[in-house]
Structure formats: C-alpha cells, structure tokens
Amino acid sequence: MARPTIVFDLDGTLVDSAPDLAAATNHVLTRHGRRAVSLEEVREMVGQGARKLITRGFERTGDALDPARLEPLYAEFIDYYTAHIADLTRPFDGVTALLDLCVERSIPMAVCTNKLESLSVRLLEELRLSHYFGAIVGPDTIGIAKPDPRPLQAAVECAGGRQDLAVMIGDSGTDIRTAQAASIPVVAVTFGYTDQPVTAFDPDHVVDHFDSVWPWIADRFGLPA
C-alpha cells in the first residue's frame, strides 16, 4: 500500500510560537523607540519570515521601516530569538498524538517553513519533536521561500515521498497557495496565524483540531481510519 507523505508548516501549525516571536519582535521595536505589539497583532503578522515580521511590526507602530535598516534589525531579532526560541513555544493540542500515529503507520513526515532551517531544527529539538521528521526545509535550505512550490516539493523528496502522494498541513494563505502551486492537497488549521480566514484561500479541508486530521487523510488515501 502506497503511503502519503505529510508535510507540516511549523509556526502556527505544529507549534504555537507566537509568544516567543512576539518577545523577539518587541525586543527590536522597543529598542528603537516603537511601542510593543500585542500577541494578537503578531499572530496576524507571522508567516513570511522574520524580515517581513519586523517590517510589519514597524508599519504597525509608526512610519514604515527604512529598508536600509532592515538587516541590522534582523540580526538583533535573530540573536534574541535564538536565545529564547522555546521559552513559551509549545506544540498545539493533538500534535504529538498525530505524529505518533503516523510513526506507527509508517507515514513519512516533513516540515516546510519560512523560518530559517537552523532555527527550525533548534526549535524542534528543544521541543523534542525533531525525530519525527525526515526533512526540515526552510527558506534558506534551497534558497527559495513559500509560496513558491519548490520548498514543499523539496521537503517531500527529502523525506523519501512521492509528489502525487503528499499532503500539506498549514495555517495561512501562504501555505495554501504553496500547496496549490505544487498540485498537492492541503489541510488548513483554523487556530494558526493569519489575517484572513483560511477558508478564503479554498483549502481542500479545514480542521479545528489535530484530532480531525487523520480521518481525512485516511479517507483521502484509502488508509485504515
């Protein structure tokens, strides 16, 4: 029996990392005379990497950021975030149970994220989740970020899977557009980080909890429920 490969987004899908991302964002903003942003604001701004998060943070708190200032601020963000990457970040409810089930059923898994590969690996190791995944692909892994489909395709390939037997699980328009561009079905979670409802991007399936993921995958790929 052919087995699907499940590729997960990281922030807002596998893990609730918004509190630590907010702390790193506010570390940069307040050091440079801006107000701190709220956790809810950060949840709406995450999804396209740290540079975009910083840029959006400055847009939310005053004048837009001079592009010439971005790289030094990005370095500040990364230094702080690396030191505090798992202070408050935790897997979403039901994640570990789904990952364990997939291991039991020999389902290969991977991560495709717009967080740097090294930070993604570090975070998953801190949370004792890294061993579940046959590949962890960030925007720097192949030099391309989502919503380009190639990082997702690379994640499937590196995990030993087939493109025609893959599924993406994500929380944002970026994830959904990535999967659609790769002609890979996508499950959207409703509890992640997005400024628009995930239903607006026409995913193949929507879930409110990870408990609902496996029944859909089993039905889609003809596997035991």
Residues of the chain with pLDDT under 70: 1
Intervals of CATH 1.10.150 along the chain:
18-83
Q: Does residue 222 come out as left (phi exceeding 0), alpha (psi in the -120 to 50 range) or beta?
A: left
211 flagged as catalytic:
no
Whole-number pLDDT of residue 190: 97
DSSP 164: G
pTM, full prediction: 0.92
d(CA 160, CA 220): 20
Dihedral sign of CA atoms 91, 118, 36, 68 in order: negative
Which tens digit of pLDDT belongs to each residue from 68-82? 999 999 999 999 999
The alpha carbon of residue 94 and the mean position of all alpha carbons in its chain are separated, in whole angstroms, by 16
Q: For the domain 18-83, what is the CATH code?
A: 1.10.150
Catalytic residue among 9, 16, 20, 171: 9
Could you give the residue range(s) of every CATH 3.40.50.1000 domain in the chain?
5-16+89-221
Assign a CATH topology to domain 5-16+89-221. Answer: Rossmann fold (3.40.50)
